[in-house]
Amino acid sequence: MKPNIKPNLKPKLLPVLMSSILLAPAGLQATPSSSSEMTTLIVTSGFRPVTQETIPTSITAIPSETLEKSQSQHLEDVFSFAPNVNSAKGSSRARFYQIRGVGERSQFVGHVNPSVGVLLDGIDFSSIAAAATLLDTRQVEILRGPQGTLYGSNALAGLINIQSNDPTTLPEGRIEGSIGNYNTHSLTGIYSTPLNDSTGLRLAIQQNSSDGFMKNDHLNRKDTNNIDETFIRAKLRIAATDDLLVDLLAFYADIDNGYDAFSLDNNRRTLSDEPGRDRQISKALAVKSVWSGANTYQLETRLSHSASDSDYGYDEDWAFDGFDPSGYTAYDQYRRSTDTSSAELRWVSLPGGEIFNGTTRWTTGVYGFHQQQDLTRSYTFLADNLTTDFSTRRLSLYGELETDLSDDLILTTGLRVETSRSRYDDSVGVNYKKTEHLWGGRIALDYWLTSNTSLYATVSRGYKVGGINGGFTENQLAADLREFNTETLYNYEVGSKGRYLNDRLQSQTVLFFQQRRDAQLRGSYQPSIQIGFVDYLFNANKVENYGLEQQLQYRWDNGFSLFGMAGLLKTEVKDSSSAINGRDVAHAPHWQYQLGIDYDTGLGVFAGASVEGMDRFYFSDSHNTLSWDYTLVNAHLGYKTEDWSVRLWGRNLGNERYAERGFFFGNDPRIGYDARPYYQLGAPRTFGVTASLSF
């Protein structure tokens, strides 16, 4: 009953380049075509490329057509397509993401071990995701639940994989430009060409700019919360021999955004005299090779290195000097350098290389990771700058078996063991060293009812290393709050994936239950204005999450296509010693949904509209401030030919007011610094026009 999922992966250039084009997925939110049948979606974030129906885990894949129509430029723009996925601002772009209520929300003094892994063409951007651009992206894949075998420590909650387009076998190019309200502009150029019979090159560059939607009344400026970003990517594919394929990638990001997002009056008008900034320069190189000379297996090699310098700062008092006689003036700045290197060797069986009487496909590998992060904090009330030095090294061994128990039943077993070594030192005398031995993995059963419908059950285990809350003296943070322990997450899920009604309907349904042990939650308090905020991680004994995820798409013969998703989530802290015992964790809304319709006349005209919504949620594990539920309406209308297209687009057409980040503390001298909620508001109504020319 199960489909054939054993492709020949020999890496000759022409077949590989052609397959990258022909298998370009259209996903759950695909562009309608003249056919009512769904386009097959190929997922590449696992150990071998397979269709989404054959993966025994909850996954959302978002193809390039959807990204273009929704005017998505950054990873933060796509989460409305994925159930039980959220993001946190507190910056110009969302850098931190939550899957099923698990994930970080901010980074100030401390080091972040991400719960949600972010890979950009195989390069780890998990802790520097401001650079998670969607420039020339082929698809975004969001895997929910721990990916303990696949990726390890940085994927406790799940993994987000961004794949850009590969070089093509024929010359092609595209120029695209956008203009919109709030002085928004974007210009993209892409060119791909074969250099000879064995080498292909693809170049892409994009520049984004916007004044932003905040108005600084004190400075009489509309651009203090602006966007100014440049991204460049180059990919070179070389068929060195009939058995060896090499991919080289270079990536550069120059982000020079403003950060002036909070108002004492909780509106879009600020009074800062020192508007903040959110800057990052990232440079990355990666090499991937695939060798299949052994016939029964292929050897994959991956090497990557990235270097990022960030400068994040903000006007802490949110007002100008002299705003109020009892007011204060303070500026807080965090300058970080982050160097990340990884190396991996992976052996993947090919057809004919199965073991156990030809029933079992196998994968095994070794992975090394090193990250060095240095911080300098400059704060008005610090006599001397705070400096911190953090490094982590990980070495992992992993393996996975995929066994055909029968024609209809597949058993997947995977295991990863990891040694992690961390070291931390800072200028206030905090020192820390720790070595941990960790493991994760999964067991999954996938049963094929028909060749188009499967049922699966998965048990998986994820982990995240412990660490130190550094950067504060014992007068600021008690000694018993210094260290936090390793967290483990057990995930149990059952699901169904299938295609029905002569391939018109595609559906995925998942029920899940998760137990987090020694859950790492974030606390925060402000002992005084002179000390500022003390931000730290602590362990709750247990947190339980459970819920449902549904995705579907239906396509008619007449050019209409309906798509939607829904996520239900309940989380609960179970720790009698915690102030939030019995409460939801932060950034875990009880429900999310999206419902949309696309239409393609087949004669060039296309249109679409969607409605998306989210329940309210707690902003923090240290206070009870809630967001408010909201509904957003988006739409687009356009015309396309083989060579050019133009589309009008609008987002949040109802001009809904909603919050993306929130705090609770005292910062307004006009009310005696009484504590109250403050919100970073989401984008109001935005609209514009995008035109592209292909050649």
User: Is CATH 2.40.170.20 correct for 13-694?
Assistant: yes
**In this structure, are residues 686 and 651 in contact, taking their beta carbons and an 8 Å threshold?**
yes
Domain ranges in the chain?
Answer: 13-694
Smallest CA-to-CA distance from 84 within 694, 547, 679 is with 547
Neighbours of 478 (CB within 10 A): 12
Q: Give 578's DSSP letter.
A: S
Give SS3 for 394: strand
Smallest CA-to-CA distance from 108 within 130, 87, 129, 91 is with 91
Q: Is 471 left (phi over 0), alpha (psi -120 to 50) or beta?
A: left
Q: Give 208's DSSP letter.
A: E
Q: Give dist(CA 236, CA 250) in Å, integer.
A: 9
Give SS3 for 425: strand
Cα 607 off chain centre by: 28
Structure tokens at 686: 């935005």
Q: Give dist(CA 311, CA 280) in Å, integer.
A: 6
- Strands 158-164 and 116-120, by their bridges, are parallel
Neighbours of 558 (CB within 10 A): 11
Give SS3 for 111: coil
DSSP string, 635-657: EEEEEE-SSEEEEEEEESTT---
Structure tokens at 547: 């819920």
437 DSSP β-pair partners: 419
Residues 6+ apart with CB under 8 A from 60: 28, 81, 82, 83, 85, 141, 142, 144, 551, 565
What is the model's pLDDT at position 530? 65
What is the model's pLDDT at position 475? 83
Smallest CA-to-CA distance from 689 within 92, 179, 123 is with 179
**Considering Cα of 481, then 482, then 488, then 493, what sign does the dihedral take?**
positive
Q: Give dist(CA 337, CA 465) in Å, integer.
A: 21
Give SS3 for 121: coil
Q: Give dist(CA 640, CA 636) in Å, integer.
A: 13
Element (H, E) at 669: none
* H helix runs in 54-161, sequence order: 64-69
Burial of 301 (C-beta count, 10 Å sphere; 0-12/13-18/19+): middle
Task: Return phi, psi of residue 151, to 5°.
Answer: -135, -25
Structure tokens at 479: 């000694």
Per-residue pLDDT tens over the stretch 230-241: 999 999 999 999
Structure tokens at 423: 């070291």
Structure tokens at 475: 């007068």
Neighbours of 285 (CB within 10 A): 14
What is the model's pLDDT at position 529? 65
Q: Give dist(CA 297, CA 360) in Å, integer.
A: 13
**In this structure, are residues 546 and 514 in contact, taking their beta carbons and an 8 Å threshold?**
yes
What is the model's pLDDT at position 135? 96
What is the model's pLDDT at position 1? 53
Is this structure's pTM higher than 0.85?
A: yes
Task: Return phi, psi of residue 131, to 5°.
Answer: -90, 15
Element (H, E) at 81: none
What is the model's pLDDT at position 3? 53
What is the model's pLDDT at position 22? 31
Smallest CA-to-CA distance from 378 within 532, 219, 526, 259 is with 532
Per-residue pLDDT tens over the stretch 105-148: 988 887 888 999 999 999 999 988 889 999 999 999 999 999 98
What is the model's pLDDT at position 523? 87
Per-residue pLDDT tens over the stretch 423-481: 999 999 999 999 999 999 999 999 999 999 999 999 999 999 999 999 988 888 888 88
Sheet strands (E) in 37-183? 42-43, 50-51, 59-63, 85-88, 96-99, 116-120, 123-124, 137-144, 158-164, 172-180
- In which residue ranges of the chain is pLDDT below 70? 1-39, 529-531
